[in-house]
Structure 1
Amino acid sequence: MELKVSTRSHAGHALVAITGEIDLYTAPHLQSEFTRLLQEGPARVVIDMSGVDFCDSTGMNVLLSALKRMKERGGALEVAAPRPAVRKILQVTGLDSVFTVHEEVPQELLIAEGS
């Protein structure tokens, strides 16, 4: 399964939309996207996971690594709209208390996207 990552930035915020499966084979692609994005220095990154069907421990580690790097810079990394399978992984691992998890993509990012 292919992993698609698209990023839109606006006013210090970045919305990262991920589609596909995040696993051992696709995680390096996501990692490189986060590395590139973090060099741009947004204060807030929201990951739209509504298109993610599956995420294994490798994928969760990529997200945790990005969260750690954002926090080191005083920024925030949040997860939005995880599907039930991904939400369950977040709950079982306790990561739902580590990440800020939104039911859907925050409205202010969707508004910013259209401008």
Structure 2
Amino acid sequence: MTKTQSTPPSSPRVLLTGWTSPLPGGRVDVVVLGEVDWWSQHELAELITDAWTEHPVRLVIDLQGVTFLSLSALRVLVSARNRARTRDTVFEVVCADSTVRRTLRHLDDIP
């Protein structure tokens, strides 16, 4: 399990906390909490990169604890989705926040 967190240089608060969790059957969950913006999108990318080392059959990006998702973070998810397609890996994104869902609806529109 890999944990990471990101704080901008001028901010006293943690924007993103996350971890990867390998599960039976080749499923790997990447669980993310907080805000994924320009400052923390590289942390999301790092979590997903760590997940690929597990050679997942199914990669689940769990954004249920995310309250903000920037377009730079969406680019990270598009990259992961495209990589999953080339590896015949099932790629799934789960989220609860309506604002995040509105951002994610563009995921299928981006090649």
When normalised by structure 1's length, the TM-score is 0.75
State the distance in 2 between where 1:80 and 1:59 align: 15
Unaligned runs of 5+ in 1: 99-115
Q: Which runs of 4+ in 1 moved over 3 A?
A: none
Unaligned runs of 5+ in 2: 1-13
Q: Specify which structure has the higher proportion of helix.
A: 1
Give the 5 Å matches for 1:7-22. 7-10=20-23, 11-22=25-36
Who is 1:68 aligned against?
A: 82
Give the 5 Å matches for 1:1-115. 1-10=14-23, 11-91=25-105, 93=106, 95=107, 97=108
How many residue pairs match? The answer is 95
State the distance in 2 between where 1:79 and 1:52 align: 12
When normalised by structure 2's length, the TM-score is 0.78
* 1:37 Cα deviation after fit: 1.2
* 1:6 Cα deviation after fit: 1.5
* 1:88 Cα deviation after fit: 1.3
Two-structure CA RMSD over aligned residues (Å): 1.4
